A = this chain, B = another copy of it.
Amino acid sequence: MQETAVTVDPNITDPAESTSAAQETSAPDATGHRVGVAVVGLGGAVASTMVAGVELLRLGAVGSAGLPFADRTELTPYESLRFGGWDLDPADLAKAAQVHQVLEPAQLDLVAGHLETLTPWPAVADPRWCRNAGGANVVEISSLRERIARIRDDLQRFRTEQELDTVVVLNLASTEAVPPDTTFLADAAALERAIDADDPAVTPGVLYAYAAISETCPYVNFTPGAGAESPALQHLAEQHGVPIAGRDGKTGQTMLKTVLAPALRSRGLHVDGWYSTNLLGNRDGEILNDPDSMASKVNTKGSVLDSMLGYAVDDHIVRIDYYRPRGDAKESWDNIDLTGFLGGRMQLKLDFLCRDSVLAAPLVLELVRMVVEAHRRGESGAQEQLGYFFKSPVTRDSRPPEHGFARQEQTLNDWLDGR
**Chain A residues within 8 Å of B, Cβ to Cβ:** 49, 52-53, 56, 62, 64-70, 102-107, 255-256, 259-260, 262-263, 266-270, 272-273, 275, 277, 279, 314-315, 317, 319, 321, 323-326, 331, 333, 335, 337, 339-355, 358-359, 361-362, 405-407, 409
Contact = CB atoms under 8 A, between A and B. Distances in A.
A275 B346 contact: no
A390 B120 CA distance: 54
Per DSSP, chain A at the interface is mixed
A148 B156 CA distance: 79
Given A104-B343, A345-B355, A406-B406, 15 more contacts: A53-B341, A56-B342, A62-B343, A66-B270, A104-B342, A107-B342, A256-B348, A315-B324, A342-B361, A346-B353, A346-B355, A346-B359, A347-B352, A348-B354, A350-B351
Contacts of A259: 259-260, 263
Contact of A325 (B266, B337, B361): B337
A350 B350 contact: yes
A263 B255 contact: yes
A341 B262 contact: no
Given A262-B406, A279-B335, A350-B349, A68 B268 contact: yes
A317 B324 contact: no
Complex A-B, nearest 3 residue pairs according to Cβ-Cβ distance, in ascending order: A66-B341, A406-B406, A344-B358
Given A268-B362, A275-B279, A325 B321 contact: no
Nearest to A332: B348
